[in-house]
């Protein structure tokens, strides 16, 4: 594991990057002068590893959000191409157009066919504009619903990858029924009886994320977030100023650890040191293991058992007291 | 997502002898306004009704059910004030337990399972209690083969309950979906305003969806959209009539015709 000097890093990584640079410098000097510095270099390497581990353990929710939004973070397409042996993308909602901010299709995983749906962000300005920064229009959700029905019809397990700042708030989106598209998608997904697993891989932004997350099991990448509203939005409404996003991120309990405690999610997928983008191969291995284990377990249940368990899972969501 | 989000004038509820219409600025004799179901006879502006007033103009009788389900501050949420304080304020201001009242109402001797969201209680926002009460009344309607009518006016999910409130969208959509699948008639009545997590869940899932005139209905609030796209919104954007034109609702129904419309719909579906 190493951080490239030229690579983007997040502010809390600065001391770590500095130490890495120092190690590089020592190596260079050692090579030039022929003086053996192996001891110093190893000690420094040990120090930087420890520092990185401690830093990652104590991240604030807002710092985790920065990892979740990292431009190099693996996207749905990265995971699909890494996890599955092959896949066939299915486009369009058959009503209006194809929305590139939600992708989906049928894929092969260790010999079995599954249906995959996920939000898709870009990784530079051009692709982000094309993907609308992962913010779907109603037609994205209508495409997702088409694929959910496809999974149900052919009795195929459903895997969804969640990574969106939220559904797109725009004029056309409203005119074409953003609310209704999300509501229908939530409703449909809650009624499916095929095994389903939702994995939050980056940002789980509100209703736009929930629309394709109503699964039998919900997993989250360690540094991903899942929230009723973005911390910036929450800050500007409740704290009356967007600059309180940090405070809002804490208050909203949006990290994987918070949501495991609140029984909202079922498991956390541990990320490589520094975040999923620092070691994509390891990330892919972990995702693959998570999918295989969950689908295997869900397939052991009968259709009726899965339906009942899902009903109970979402019926039990919420905390209140009774008089 | 809350009151201030929609620039709702706090004191538009008629109190004195004269009431100023916030839409056309005309002064209206309060008694006349009340006799007209709180609809301005100059400009047809529909003033907000309290939950009790809504019940009074809709049902011949009403029995509340599932009371005593109370909110808790599971997240220990603090913004400009602690959520627990905000709840206490809302309870003392409205005299209500939470932002929804559910029960069985009757129209012309027909029993109807109903829920009415109270916008005055933390902006009608949906937290765990609103979700649970909708869940229970919908199940009750399914088990007893009653029609279901939900009146919505809400800023959306209750942010102070974090993900617990987002999950109420899943819970209410799931229960309404099952009720419809089993043959039940669900009529959704959209009132001013219905946005966010409520409009993106049970409120837009009705077999029949009707709205009062001029109600703001949408996924994102107009200010959020303006900030995102940085352009002015079209005239009448996100109002009931606009949604009707775009195929998102079945009908815009005047307040004075609402009871008759609901009665007709319920009986015509064989109840």
The residue among B101, B54, B79, B67 whose CA lies nearest residue B2 is B79
How many domains in chain B?
1
A237 contacts B170? CB cut-off 8 A: no
CB atoms within 10 A of CB B256: 11
Q: What is the ipTM of this complex?
A: 0.95
Grade residue A8 by pLDDT with cuts at 50, 70 and 90. Answer: confident
Question: How close does chain B come to A290, measured CA to CA in Å?
Answer: 23
Is residue B31 included in any domain, yes or no? no
Q: How confident is the model at residue A323, as a pLDDT?
A: 83
Interchain contact B188–A (C-beta under 8 A)? no
Q: How many angstroms separate the CA of residue B51 from the nearest CA in chain A? A: 22
Residue B83 falls within a domain, yes or no?
yes
Which B-chain residues 101-140 have CB contacts (< 8 A) with chain A? Answer: 127-129, 131-132, 135
Per residue, what are the HEC states of chain B? CCHHHHCCCCCCCCCCCEEECCCCCCEEEHHHHHHCCCECCCCCCECCCCHHHHHHHHCCEEEEECCCEEECCCCCCECCCEHHHHHHHHHHHHCCCCCEEEEEEEECCEEEEEEEECCCCHHHCECHHHHHHHHHHHHHHHHCCCCEEEEEEECCECHHHHHHHHHHHHHHHHHHHHHHHCCCCEEEEEEEEEEHHHHCCHHHCCCEEEECCCCEEECCCHHHHHHHHCCCCCCCCCEHHHHHHCCCCCEECCHHHHHHHHHHHHHHCCC
Judge if pTM exceeds 0.90. Answer: yes
Rounded distance between C-alpha atoms, residue B250 and residue B260, angstroms: 16
What is the average per-residue pLDDT within A116-144?
A: 97
Q: How far is A147 from chain B (nearest CA, A)?
A: 19
Does residue B105 belong to any structural domain of this protein? Answer: yes
Q: What is the pLDDT of residue A256?
A: 97
Round the average pLDDT of chain A to a whole number and report it: 94
Alpha-carbon span A62 to A40, nearest angstrom: 35
3-class state of residue A310 by DSSP: helix
Q: Which residues of A touch B170 (CB under 8 A)?
A: 186, 190, 210, 214, 314, 317
**Half-sphere exposure of B124 toward its Cβ, with a 13 Å CA cutoff?**
30
A238 and B173 within 8 Å at the Cβ level: the answer is no
Per-10-residue mean pLDDT, chain B, length 271? 46 72 94 95 95 97 97 95 96 96 97 98 98 98 98 97 98 98 98 97 98 97 88 92 98 98 97 95
Asked if B225 lies within 8 A of A229 by C-beta distance, the reply is no
What pLDDT shows up at residue A6? Answer: 60
Query: Is A230's pLDDT higher than 50?
Result: yes
- Confirm or reject contact between A169 and chain B (CB < 8 A): yes
* B178 contact A CB<8A: yes
Instruction: Report how far apart, in Å, the C-alpha atoms of B269 and of each of B148, B180, B209 are.
Output: 12, 13, 15
Chain A residues 95-114 within an 8 A CB cutoff of chain B: none
User: Å from A321 to nearest chain B CA?
Assistant: 5
Chain A segment 35-64 residues within 8 A of B by beta carbon are none
Q: How many CA atoms lie within 13 A of B122 on its CB side?
A: 27
Residue A135's SS3 state is coil
Using the Cβ of A183 and the Cβ atoms of chain B, whether some distance falls under 8 Å is answered with yes
Determine the residue of chain B that is closest to A214 in CA distance: B170
C-alpha pair distances (Å), A213 with each of A210, B119, B227: 5, 28, 27
Chain A residues in contact with B161 by the CB 8 A cut-off are 228, 319
Give the range of the structural domain holding residue B77, as residue numbers without chain letter. Answer: 49-268
Give the residue among B139, B140, B136, B120 at the shortest CA–CA distance from B128. Answer: B136
Does B166 fall in a domain?
yes
Banded model confidence at residue A36, pLDDT cuts 50, 70, 90: confident
Check CB contact under 8 Å for A207 and B196.
Answer: yes
Assess A260–B contact: CB distance below 8 Å, yes or no: no
In which band, very low, low, confident or very high, does the pLDDT at A40 lie, cut at 50, 70 and 90? Answer: confident
Interface contact flag, A262 B163, Cβ < 8 Å: yes
- A207 at B interface, C-beta within 8 A: yes
Per-residue confidence band for A4, with pLDDT thresholds at 50, 70 and 90: low
Q: Residue A248 corresponds to which tokens in the numbers above? A: 């809002």
What residue segments make up the domains of chain A, in order of their start? 11-58, 65-315
Inside any domain, residue B218: yes
Q: Which pLDDT does position B7 carry in this prediction?
A: 47
Query: β-strand B110-117 against B100-107: which pairing, if any?
Result: antiparallel
User: CA-CA distance, A67 to A69, in Å (whole number)?
Assistant: 5
Closest residue in A to B221 (Cα–Cα): A169
Cα torsion angle, A155, A157, A161, A162, sign: positive
Would you state the pLDDT for residue A241?
A: 86
Q: Do A228 and B165 touch (CB under 8 A)?
A: yes
B151: closest CA of chain A, how far (Å): 16
* Rounded to 5°, angle at Cα A192 from A268 and A147: 90
Q: Residues of B with CB below 8 A from A264's CB?
A: 163-164, 167
Q: Does B164 touch chain A (CB under 8 A)?
A: yes
Q: How far is A50 from chain B (nearest CA, A)?
A: 32
State how far the Cα of A249 lies from the Cα of A228, in Å rounded to an integer. 11
User: What are the tokens at B61?
Assistant: 């009788």
In whole angstroms, give the CA distance from residue A316 to residue A314. Answer: 5
For residue A5, what pLDDT is reported? 57
CATH of the domain at B151: 3.90.226.10
**Chain A to chain B, count of Cβ pairs less than 8 Å apart?**
199
Judged by CB atoms closer than 8 Å, whether chains meet at B173 and A206 is answered as no
pLDDT at A210 over 90: yes
Contacts of A192 in chain B (CB under 8 A): none
| A205 interfacial to chain B (CB closer than 8 Å) | no
Q: Give the best residue of B5, B65, B163 to mutate against chain A (max A CB count within 10 A).
A: B163
Distance from CA of A117 to the nearest CA of B (A): 18
A65-315 is classed CATH 3.90.226.10: yes
Kindly list the distances between the CA atom of residue B76 and the CA atoms of A21, A27, A230, A265, in Å, as whole numbers in the listed order: 42, 50, 18, 19
B193 interfacial to chain A (CB closer than 8 Å): no
Interatomic CA distance for residues B195 and B155, integer angstroms: 5
Two tokens, residue B41: 């006879």
Chain centroid to CA B211: how far?
10
């Amino acid at each position: 594991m190493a951080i490239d000097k030229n690579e983007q890093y997040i502010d809390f990584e600065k001391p770590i990057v500095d130490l890495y640079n120092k190690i590089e410098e020592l190596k260079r000097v050692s090579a030039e002068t022929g003086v053996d510095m192996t001891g110093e270099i190893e000690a420094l390497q040990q120090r930087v590893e420890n520092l990185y581990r401690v830093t990652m353990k104590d991240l604030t929710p807002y710092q985790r959000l920065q990892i979740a939004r990292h431009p190099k973070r693996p996207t749905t397409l990265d995971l699909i191409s890494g996890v599955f042996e092959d896949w066939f993308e299915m486009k369009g909602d058959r009503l209006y157009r194809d929305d590139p901010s939600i992708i989906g299709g049928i894929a092969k995983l260790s010999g079995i066919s599954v249906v995959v749906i996920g939000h898709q962000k870009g990784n530079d300005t051009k692709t982000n504009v094309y993907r609308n920064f992962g913010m779907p229009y109603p037609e994205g959700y209508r495409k997702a619903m088409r694929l959910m029905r496809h999974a149900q019809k052919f009795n195929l397990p459903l895997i969804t990858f969640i990574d969106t700042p939220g559904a797109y708030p725009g004029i056309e989106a409203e005119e074409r029924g953003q609310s209704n598209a999300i509501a229908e998608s939530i409703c449909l997904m809650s009624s499916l009886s095929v095994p389903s697993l939702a994995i939050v891989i980056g940002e789980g932004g509100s209703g736009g994320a929930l629309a394709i997350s109503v699964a039998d099991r919900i997993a989250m990448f360690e540094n991903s977030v899942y929230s009723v509203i973005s911390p910036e939005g929450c800050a500007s409404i409740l704290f009356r100023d967007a600059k309180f996003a940090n405070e809002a991120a804490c208050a909203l309990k949006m990290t994987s650890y918070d949501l495991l405690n609140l029984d909202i999610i079922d498991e956390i997928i541990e990320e490589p040191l520094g975040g999923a983008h620092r070691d994509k191969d390891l990330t892919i291995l972990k995702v693959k293991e998570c999918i295989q284990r969950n689908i295997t377990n869900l397939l052991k249940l009968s259709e009726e058992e899965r339906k009942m368990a899902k009903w109970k899972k979402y019926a039990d969501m919420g905390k209140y007291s009774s008089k | 997502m809350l009151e201030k989000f929609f620039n709702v004038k706090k004191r538009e509820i008629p109190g004195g002898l004269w009431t100023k219409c916030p839409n056309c600025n005309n002064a209206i004799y309060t008694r006349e306004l009340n006799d007209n179901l709180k609809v301005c006879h100059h400009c047809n502006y529909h003033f907000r009704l309290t939950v009790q007033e809504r019940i009074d103009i809709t049902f011949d009788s009403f029995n509340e059910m599932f009371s005593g389900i109370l909110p808790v501050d599971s997240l220990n949420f603090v913004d400009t004030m602690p959520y627990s304080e905000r709840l206490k304020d809302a309870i003392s201001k409205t005299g209500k337990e939470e932002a929804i009242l559910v029960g069985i109402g009757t129209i012309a001797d027909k029993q109807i399972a109903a829920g009415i969201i109270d916008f005055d209680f933390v902006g009608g926002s949906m937290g765990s209690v609103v979700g649970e009460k909708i869940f229970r009344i919908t199940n009750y309607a399914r088990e007893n083969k009653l029609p279901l009518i939900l009146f919505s006016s809400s800023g959306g999910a209750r942010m102070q309950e974090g993900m617990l409130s987002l999950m109420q969208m899943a819970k209410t959509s799931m229960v309404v979906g099952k009720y419809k699948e089993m043959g039940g008639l669900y009529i959704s009545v959209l009132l001013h305003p219905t946005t966010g997590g409520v409009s993106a869940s049970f409120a837009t899932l009705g077999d029949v969806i009707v709205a009062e005139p001029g109600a703001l209905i949408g996924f994102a609030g107009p200010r959020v959209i303006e900030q995102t796209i940085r352009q002015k919104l079209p005239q009448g954007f996100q109002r009931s009539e606009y949604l009707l034109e775009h195929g998102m609702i079945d009908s815009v129904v005047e307040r004075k015709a609402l009871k008759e419309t609901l009665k007709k719909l319920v009986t015509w579906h064989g109840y």
